[in-house]
Structure 1
């Protein structure tokens, strides 16, 4: 049976690199430019909290595609989505980085991406906004929207 491999982007040149499952945690180098690649993001199976101060690092420079959940604690639909966002983070570990950003605490990023209603999901890949999904969505709709990013 073939071993699973993950795909990560190099932080220096943006090249996609395959990381064999048994090498996660080892030192890795980009096949194109030779830069070091941190494989630790492949081990994270929970949503990562993002703030204005670390948005660039955690989202735009992510070696994996990112699903950013823009939410607020007072929002009922946001709270309804939270359990399956946790599930997706675990299911997509090593393939998609699931993040959460409280829009009330992070007005700069919320304004930058014109978040006018919550929940809003933003999809990023290689530092670029690729899709915006507004409103409370069922899990299967999110999976369908993310399917292009789940292919190796």
Structure 2
């Protein structure tokens, strides 16, 4: 399966396994098991979405948004539960207004799930860790 390195954003082909003890990027050699959400921008958005065989969970947020700030730690905790099962990403709608407009983001936080390069689910409003885990589990 193809996965995007959270460090250098290069595409890696790795075998599809139930779980992984070790998986490193072929380019930068950092761990692909890193689960910290990666920041998507106008320049890397399409490449990440198209080159991920695992679901991509995107949090559209803004730094001034109270509910976004509350959900941020839950989003990171949930990401840690799905290494190489789902790719957690964030789009700062203040910095990436084109992406916010492109996807019709009217309220934040908004979570969009992409699978096989297509949007498959969207939900607005802050979610706790359990609901984020449940949402992700539906698509892996």
Asked if Structure 1 and Structure 2 have the same fold, meaning a TM-score greater than 0.5 normalized by the shorter chain, the answer is yes
CA separation of 1:10 and 1:139: change in aligned 2, threshold 3 A = closer
Q: Which residue pairs with 2:16 in the alignment?
A: 18
Q: How does 1:66-85 map to 2 (within 5 A)?
A: 66-85=56-75
Q: Distance in 2 between matches of 1:26 and 1:41?
A: 6
Structure 1 runs not aligned, ≥5 long = 1-7, 28-38
Q: Distance in 1 between matches of 2:136 and 2:112?
A: 11
Q: Is the 8 A contact 2:40 2:89 kept in 1?
A: yes
**Are 1:48 and 2:46 an aligned pair?**
no
Give the TM-score of the pair, scaled to structure 2: 0.79
Q: Is the 8 A contact 2:24 2:31 kept in 1?
A: no
Give the TM-score of the pair, scaled to structure 1: 0.73
- What is the Cα-based RMSD across aligned positions, in Å? 2.7
Deviation track 1:83-121 (CA, whole Å, cap 9, x = no partner) reads 111111211111110001101111221111100000000
Q: Is the 8 A contact 1:120 1:133 kept in 2?
A: yes
If you compute each CA radius of gyration, which structure gives the higher value, 1 or 2? 1
Compute the displacement of 1:136 (Å).
Answer: 1.1
Q: Is the 8 A contact 1:42 1:95 kept in 2?
A: no
Q: 1:103 aligns with which of 89, 93, 108?
A: 93
CA separation of 1:87 and 1:65: change in aligned 2, threshold 3 A = same
Structure 2 runs not aligned, ≥5 long = 5-13
Compute the displacement of 1:134 (Å).
Answer: 0.4
Compute the displacement of 1:146 (Å).
Answer: 1.8
SS in structure 1 of the partner of residue 16 of structure 2: strand
Q: Distance in 1 between matches of 2:101 and 2:110?
A: 13
Report which of the two has the higher share of helix.
1
Compute the displacement of 1:17 (Å).
Answer: 5.2
Q: Distance in 2 between matches of 1:76 and 1:51?
A: 22
